[in-house]
Structure 1
Amino acid sequence: MKTPNQDCLELRQEVIRACLEMNAHGINQGTSGNISVRAGDQMLITPSGLPYEKMAPEDLVALPLDGSPPKNGQRKPSTEWPFHFAILREKTGVNAVVHAHPVYCSALAMNRQAIPACHYMVAAFGGCDVPVADYALFGSQKLSDNIIRALRDRSACLMANHGAVATGDSLSRAMWRMLELETLAKSYMASLTIGEPHILSDSEIEDVKAAFKDYGLKDSR
C-alpha cells in the first residue's frame, strides 16, 4: 500500500513530466508556463524560473489552500500562483491547472478574440465559446479575478495579451484540454484566412455536450 508521501512524490513527478510534455509539444516555451495540482489540503505548483529539465520533485512548492503560511525553505512559487490558487479554491471539482503561452491561443488573446462555436470541440470546454479573460498584470489579484470570471462555467479560457489556462479533474485531463485548445485556436485562425467560419448554434453545442457524456469527455465530479 502506498503511503501519503509516496502518492505526493508521484504527483510531483507527474507535474514535471507534464511540464516537459508542454515544451515537447510546442505548447510552451522555456519556463513561461506553469502547472499546479491539488494535493489534499494544499496546492503543489512549479517554482519560478527553474528550467523544467532541471526540476526535481522537491522543487515544487506546496501552498496551503486555507491561506495559511507555506512551509519555510521552499523555492519561490511561480509568479502566477495567485490565479492557480484562486481556481483551486473556487472550483472544487478542479484538481489541476495548466497555464502556457501556446502560439495560436496567444495570437487570438492578443486580439482579445474569443473562440466561437466554429467546431464541435468547443463544447469540450463547457459552453458555446472559449472566452477571453480581461487583461491584468501577471501575478496580480485583478488577473485572478478576471480568470475566475471567465472560467465561471468553462474549463478553459484565453488570457488577453497573455496566453491560455486549462483546468481538469486530473492533470492528464487539464493537459488534454490545453492541447485541444491550441489545436482549436489554430484551426479557427486557419478558417479565418479562407472566409468566414460557420458557427454552430447553441442547441447544436448542447447536443454535443450531451453526446460527450457517453464518450468520457466530461470531468467526473
Structure 2
Amino acid sequence: MNFREIVRNAGIRMLHSGLTVETWGNISVRDPETGLVYLTPSAMPYDLLTNDDIVVMNPDGSVKEGKRKPTVEAAMHLGIYRARPDVNAVIHTHPVESSVFGVLHRPIPPIIDEAAQVLGGEVKVTKYALPGTQELADNVVSTLGSGAACLIANHGAVSVGKDIDLAFRVCEVLEMTAQIYRMALTIGEPSVISQENVAYMKDFMEHHYGQNQK
C-alpha cells in the first residue's frame, strides 16, 4: 500500500471539500504493520504536493524518511496514535461550521442520527493552547479520548478513523452536524438523542450496517 499517495490524495480531497483553506490543516496515516506515520509537510500547498514531500516518522517522533519539515502538529498526530491503537488516520481540519462552536468553546451534541452513528456522542472542545505546541497536542489527546472527533478551541477540528475513508466520514458528518446545530439554535433549543440510542446506533453502524455486515 502506498501510504504517501494516500496522504497526498487526502490533502487534495480535504482542500476541495471545503474543510480547510490554503495550507492550513494536516493529515497523517499510520501503517499498522510497521507503526510508521506518514504526514503532510508544513505550509506547502496541497495541490502541489508530490509523494516525495510526504514525511515519514517513527512513533518516537524522529524522521525516518523525507527532506521536508513535517506539519507543526506532528506531536498531536503521534500522541493520538500512541493513545489510540484503533486509529490509523488523523485529519486536522479548519472547517467553518465546526469552528463556530470551537470559538464559542461549546460542545456539539448528537442531534441527528448520522452524528450518533459516526461521531458516537458529544464532540467536546479542548482548552485553548498555541498552535504547534505540546500543550495543544496533550489537550487534543485528552479531549478526544476514545471518541471520533473533537474541536480545538479557537482553531479547528480533529477527526480520526481506522482508515482515511472513515476519518473523512467523521469530518463530513461533524461539519454537517455543526451546521444543523447552528441553524437549529436560531429557532429554538435542539433535542439531543439519548446516550442509550446513541450507543445502539453506533453499534449498528459499526457491526451491522452495509453489504458486508450481518
Please say whether Structure 1 and Structure 2 have the same fold, judged by a TM-score greater than 0.5.
Answer: yes
Equivalent in the alignment of 1:164: 157
Equivalent in the alignment of 1:64: 58
After superposition, where does 1:6-85 map in structure 2 within 5 Å?
7=1, 10-39=2-31, 40-67=34-61, 69-71=62-64, 74-85=67-78
Cα distance in 1 between the residues matched to 2:120 and 2:103:
22
Cα distance in 2 between the residues matched to 1:198 and 1:126:
17
Counting matched residue pairs gives 207
SS at match of 2:160: strand
Contact 1:133 1:147 (8 Å CA) reproduced: yes
Return the match for 1:128 from 112, 115, 121.
Answer: 121
Deviation at 1:122, TM superposition (A): 2.5
Cα distance in 1 between the residues matched to 2:152 and 2:12:
22
SS at match of 1:62: strand
Deviation at 1:151, TM superposition (A): 1.4
Gaps of 5+ in 1: 1-6, 217-221
Deviation at 1:73, TM superposition (A): 5.8
Deviation at 1:21, TM superposition (A): 1.0
Equivalent in the alignment of 2:103: 110
Q: CA RMSD in A?
A: 1.5
Once the two structures are superposed, what CA deviation does each residue of 1:84-136 show, in whole Å capped at 9, x if it has no partner? 01011111110010001000011110001101121222223554311111111
Gaps of 5+ in 2: none
Cα distance in 1 between the residues matched to 2:46 and 2:15:
9
SS at match of 2:63: coil
Identity of aligned residues (%): 38
Deviation at 1:55, TM superposition (A): 0.3
Cα distance in 2 between the residues matched to 1:142 and 1:64:
21
- Which residue identity does 1:47 align to in structure 2? P
Return the match for 1:91 from 74, 78, 84.
Answer: 84
Cα distance in 2 between the residues matched to 1:118 and 1:80:
30
TM-score by length of 1: 0.88
TM-score by length of 2: 0.91
